[in-house]
Amino acid sequence: MADTEFLVAHGLRKAFGPFQAVDSVSFTISQREIFGLLGPNGAGKTTVIRMMSTVLKPDDGHISIGGFSVTADSDSVRKLIGVCPQELALYPELSATDNLVFFGRMAGLNGRQARESARENLERVGLQDRARDRVEQFSGGMKRRVNIAIALMSRPQLLFLDEPTVGIDPQSRNHIFETVENLRDEGMTVLYTTHYMEEADRLCDRLAIMDHGSIIGLGTPRELKSEIGNPDRVTLEDVFLEYTGRRLRD
Amino acid sequence: MALVLRQAFLIASKDTRIFFKDRFAMAFAFLFPFIFIVGWSAALSGQGPRDEPLDITLVTQEEEGISLSVIEELSQSVYASVSTRPYDDALAALQDGEIDGFVVFPADFTQKIVSGASTSLGVVVNDDNPDAEAALSGFAQEVAGRFTEAQIAFRAAADLAAQPQGELQAEPPDRTSAEFDSDTAPTVGLVLERVGDVVPFRASNFTLPAYLTMFVFFSAALSAEAIARERQNQTLERLMSNGTRRESIVLGKFIGTAYRSAAQLVVMWLAGILLFDIYLGTAPVAVIAISVLMALASAAFGVLLASFVRSVQAAGSAGVLTSLVLAPIGGCWWPLFIAPQWMQSLAKLTPHGWANGGFNKLMLFGAEAGEVTQELGALVAFAAAFLAIALWRFRTAAQ
């Protein structure tokens, strides 16, 4: 893991009316790091990603990515990032290739570059044989992989993956893990949110646990486990429940 | 600006491809209006005026005189079929239902005319045929009116000529009205003026543009649902984080919807010309211009609607509701010119009303292009206003 800070978030705040969605969030992500953002539903993870991906303006605080301010130089930031949202943000009526080419061209690639990048990324997520099929004919896991491939079209340096493995089979999930690890090995920085603790334990170099809009735990998985017991016996789920409580959430 | 346009056309192209892959959307855009047009054209066929020459039976009870000259001249008309019969034959034909009625020149017609006395033409019809009575009375009044004008002119000329010398610098009269006989009586003709091309009434000349207007706006309104779905599944957000401008999204959605509206227009107009033999009027270019502006206004309307709704369900409901309210107000279900004045005024608040008003003027009343400039201007104004509001809404609602 390199030490260079690629993303710096400081004092982030965001409210929607009276609801304080994000409150004084600060963390950094180093280059080639997989950083996990964990938290129960409504903790503010997605709002943090939306602010970092230039879609939402923070009410307060500062974010820089690759040295560029997200608010002051959003165009430069957009060239560095790829976003894989929680929803399947794609066009089911179009083929996998057409989806990737469209988003690639919208990101500024020309037609030839977009087709080449689409071929590479479909191969990366293991869908090269289904490139011409309509996405609506795909299984849930395959759609999730297309969703990730789209985020890779602009060859980003920082990839946001917002719960990329929700509702898919173990094979597809494992394929996604391998893809993310490969991307990290190739030099990409990843911000990864998930509800699955074993995923975070396997993939993430460092983690932040969020609840009620704030970060309540930050460190490597082992450091976090050490805070509540023997790191070889405590699971990340124990840590999560210790921090966020056992009370049921909506 | 170049980036915005590039992105907008990419979005429009993508939306058009999706549209042509969606069978239901295609059916709604092309099949439904076609069914409506066929149905209503069939239902309304047989209504309205026919392009048939006027059959007029004339009877004169004179052996010779002015009435014979008049009948001979009227026989030359291409707009009326004039026949003559003896009075008893005409009466028998009327009673047998062979003719609807006839006009009678009395036996002393010429004598009364040349002496300046009053006379009258007779109109004989059945009591239960008000249409024939109206048509023949109108004809008789026209003929009588011409003779009255001629009589007044002759009397005035005669009176002037009878004035003592010195009072008026006029030549002494060489003839008086009493001296006119049938040979020297003025020729009196019936002038039928031709106004525009005479076109047979076809219901499809109203139904096609009306239902086309309704369905172009309906399809555009439902495109708001597609935009809301994109907002919900975060493709719009993904595009924005990808470097896509909000202006590009609004413009792209507008252009894409306009493409689809244009496809509807091309298909339905071609079907109208080839299958329904519709008449585009004396200014077909103006019909095309109204069609294009209507497509732009409808596309802007769809984007505007999308900018106000928050969910797919709300977009669907708003699309259906606005379409079903605006279509009848705007004259898509019945011609505006048969509606009361207050409804005609209300229609001007809708782009549908202006589009239908323009189509009706051009295709039913033979208007020239210059007579629909108001309609063209109104459609441009609607499109610009809708688009500006949509852009403002997308900008302000985003944060």
B331-343 residue pLDDT tens:
888 888 888 889 8
Whole-number average pLDDT of chain B: 81
The 10s digit of each residue's pLDDT in B69-84 is 888 887 776 566 788 8
Q: In percent, how much of chain B has pLDDT > 90?
A: 22
Q: Which residue is closest to A98 within chain B, CA to CA?
A: B14
CA–CA dist B55, B50 (Å, integer): 13
How confident is the model at residue B189, as a pLDDT? 39
Strands A5-16 and A19-30: antiparallel
Quote ipTM for the complex.
Answer: 0.85
List the structure tokens of A84: 């894989």
The 10s digit of each residue's pLDDT in B214-223 is 988 888 888 8
Q: Which residue is closest to B235 within chain A, CA to CA?
A: A89
Give the mean pLDDT of B91-108: 87
Is B22's Cβ below 8 Å from some Cβ in A? yes
Q: Which domains does chain B have, with CATH numbers?
A: 7-47+207-398 (no CATH), 54-179 (3.40.1710)
CB contact under 8 A, A87 and B14: no
* Most confident of the ranges A122-126, B23-27, B73-77, B277-281: A122-126
Q: Residue B85 pLDDT > 90, yes or no?
A: no
Q: Which domains does chain A have, with CATH numbers?
A: 5-80+156-244 (3.40.50.300), 91-154 (1.10.40)
Chain A residues whose CB is inside 8 A of the B237 CB are: 50, 55, 85, 89
The 10s digit of each residue's pLDDT in B118-163 is 788 888 887 777 667 777 877 887 777 777 776 776 677 767 666 6
Binning pLDDT at 50, 70 and 90, where does residue B183 land? very low
CB contact under 8 A, B17 and A98: yes
In this structure, are residues B242 and A154 in contact, taking their beta carbons and an 8 Å threshold?
yes
Q: Which residue is closest to B242 within chain A, CA to CA?
A: A107
Is A136's Cβ below 8 Å from some Cβ in B? no
In this structure, are residues A243 and A209 in contact, taking their beta carbons and an 8 Å threshold?
yes
Q: What is the DSSP code string of B15-49? A: HHHHHHH-HHHHIIIIIHHHHHHHHHHHHHTT-S-
CA–CA dist A236, B106 (Å, integer): 117
Q: Residue B42 pLDDT > 50, yes or no?
A: yes
- Put simply, the chain A residues between 59 and 88 with a CB less than 8 A from any chain B CB are 75, 78-79, 81, 83, 85-88
Q: Which residue is closest to A103 within chain B, CA to CA?
A: B239
How confident is the model at residue B170, as a pLDDT? 42
How confident is the model at residue B130, as a pLDDT? 66
Is B311's Cβ below 8 Å from some Cβ in A? no
Is A55's Cβ below 8 Å from some Cβ in B? yes
Block means of pLDDT (10 residues each) for chain A, 250 residues, are 79 93 94 92 90 92 94 92 92 95 93 95 93 93 93 93 88 89 93 89 92 91 88 83 71
B374, amino acid identity: Q
Chain A residues whose CB is inside 8 A of the B244 CB are: 106
In this structure, are residues B270 and B277 in contact, taking their beta carbons and an 8 Å threshold?
no
Residue A82 C-alpha, separation from nearest chain B C-alpha, in angstroms: 7
How many CB pairs below 8 A link A and B? 65
Q: Which residues contact A52 (CB under 8 A, 6 or more apart)?
A: A7, A9, A63, A65, A70, A81, A160, A191
Chain B residues whose CB is inside 8 A of the A92 CB are: none
Give the mean pLDDT of B79-92: 83
